[in-house]
Every structure is written in structure tokens, then in C-alpha cells.
Amino acid sequence: MIKRRIWSLSALIFIIAAIVLYIGLQRHLLVSIQNVSLSALSYLIMIRVVFLVLNGILLREFALKYRITLMPKEWFGLSVVTTMGNFITPFSGGLIARATYLKHRYAFSYAKFASLLTANYLIYFEVIAIAGLVTLMASPEKPIYYWQLALFFVMVIIIVSTLFMFPSSKRLPWHNRLATIINDSLEGWVLIKSDKILLGKLMLYTFVSILLHGFSFWIAFFALKGEAVSFGPVFLVSLLSIFSLIGNITPGNLGIQEAIASISSEILCIGAGLGLLA
């Protein structure tokens, strides 16, 4: 644990220094911040609140699967605490608080929590990849790296679908972190796919959440640039930025998400600097 904290702190210091240096060399970007209006900030806050509510409802649905009825103050409070914890601790520390509460309050085991969580992430990435591929194909103006992005989304779909089709009775025999995550996700997937109503709700909530994430990026780009930006490329940037969760080693995923958003914005001809600020 101490080693992980050292690595996280080192990465955080390096990333913050890199961001400060980049903005220092691109000072004209700071002018864009002056374009941000209070109304734009209000819309962003509203979207994030709805996002918190959606995450809370998703937690409530999972809990109901195990005959645990969470009160509104619980499912919304856990959503808020989880998000806050993820922003101030590395490696998604807020999820530990959620798991601990469910364990001590409702005797919901850590193993069940881990299996549902990992399965939820796999479904999340599957929906994101499908949405990204459809957005690419429907876009009237194909980006320069169209085929590379399409290949990336297709590979994600194939990998996740392969895991989902893995026989439920089989388990990976290796004893490492990756094998544990995959085995946990398979256990959670077996439970979720047996409940068609839960699976449908999960996919619907996932799609709505990535749409909200896309709209928040679109509003941010609009506020910074001072003019309308095409939603398609911005939506793709928002989708690609979510994959930064895989390397969540800093508090709030600071720097990792910004780097991916910046690179994606440059690839999609929006501008790396605007992607960083957004």
C-alpha cells in the first residue's frame, strides 16, 4: 500500500508539473477561460448532479438484486461519497468506502461487490465502444485517424464480448491481479445476464450516463471556444477519455484523463489545448 501511494504521489506531481509547464508555454489558452460564463458552469453542475443521481439509482438496482433496499439518502449519499473519495484518493478509493458501508450495514460481502463492479465496468466499456463505433460511422466528416479509432472500438467490443461468452463454469487458473479481475467479472456477469430486467436497466443507465458525459464535454468546449462545436467529435473525445479509468493511479484520475482528452481532441482536429482545459 505504501508503494502504491508513493507511485501515485510521484505520478501526480509529475503530471501537475507537466500540465503547468504546458499551459505556461501556451498562455493564450488561458484567455479561453475568460469565455466561460456562469450559465455554462450552472449547466455543467446540473449535469454532474444528474450523473450522481444516476449512479445512485444504479447502486440501488444492484442492491435490490440481493434483497437490500437502500433508502434515497443511502444510494445518493453513497454515490456522492464514492465520487468525492475517488477525487481525493488514488486507485478509485471512493469505491472502498461504498464497499465498506455495504459490508458493515447489510453484510454485503466484498467478493460480491467486486464481482458486480467488474462486470459493470465491462458492460460500460462494451456500450462505450459500440456508441463510439456508431458515432464514427454516422459522422459526415471522417477524422484523419478514422480507421485507427474504428479498429480500437472494434477490438474493445471483441475482447469484452469474448469474456462475456466465456463458459460460466470456467475460471482462469492463474493467481495474479488480472486473472482475479477477470474471474470476478465473469461471476458478476453470470448473475447479471440471468436477470434480463437488470441487464436492460444497466445498459440503459450506462447509455444515458455516457450521453451526459458527452454533453458535459460539449458544453465545456462551447464555453471555452465561445462558439458551437460539432457534437460528434466532442462525443468521441468524451468516450475515449472514459478509458482513462483503466489507468486510474492518481486522485480523481488527474492528468490521465486530461492527457487522453487532450490527445483525442488533437486527433479529432478540435485542439489539444482546448481538450486539456475542457
Provide, rounded to the nearest whole percent, the portion of the chain with pLDDT above 90: 23
pTM of this prediction?
0.79
To 5 degrees, how large is the angle CA 231–CA 252–CA 34? 55
pLDDT tens readout for residues 6-55: 766 777 777 778 777 877 777 777 777 777 888 989 999 999 999 999 98
Nearest C-alpha neighbor of 120 from the set 194, 184, 170 = 184
Radius of gyration of the chain (CA): 20
Distance, C-alpha 181 to centroid of its chain: 17
Q: Where are the domains of the chain?
A: 108-277
Spatial separation of the C-alpha atoms in residues 250 and 259, rounded to whole Å: 13
- Angle at which helices 110-138 and 196-225 cross, to 10°: 60
pLDDT tens readout for residues 110-160: 777 777 777 788 888 999 999 999 999 988 888 888 889 999 999 999 988
Nearest C-alpha neighbor of 58 from the set 111, 123, 107, 108 = 123
Q: Which amino acid, one-letter code, is at 85?
A: G
Helix (H, G, I), strand (E, B) or coil at 249: coil
Q: Is 24 left (phi over 0), alpha (psi -120 to 50) or beta?
A: alpha
pLDDT of residue 237: 93
Cβ(250)–Cβ(9) under 8 Å?
A: no
Tell me the CB-side half-sphere exposure of residue 139, using CA atoms within 13 A: 24
Spatial separation of the C-alpha atoms in residues 79 and 56, rounded to whole Å: 5
* Number of other residues whose CB lies within 10 A of the CB of residue 188: 23
- Cell numbers 475542457 correspond to 278
pLDDT tens readout for residues 209-236: 999 999 999 999 988 887 778 899 999 9
Residues 6+ apart with CB under 8 A from 91: 4, 8, 248, 249
Spatial separation of the C-alpha atoms in residues 35 and 43, rounded to whole Å: 15
Residues 6+ apart with CB under 8 A from 140: none
pLDDT tens readout for residues 222-272: 888 877 788 999 999 999 988 877 655 555 566 678 888 888 888 888 888
Q: How confident is the model at residue 199 (pLDDT cuts 50, 70, 90)?
A: confident
Cβ(206)–Cβ(123) under 8 Å?
A: yes
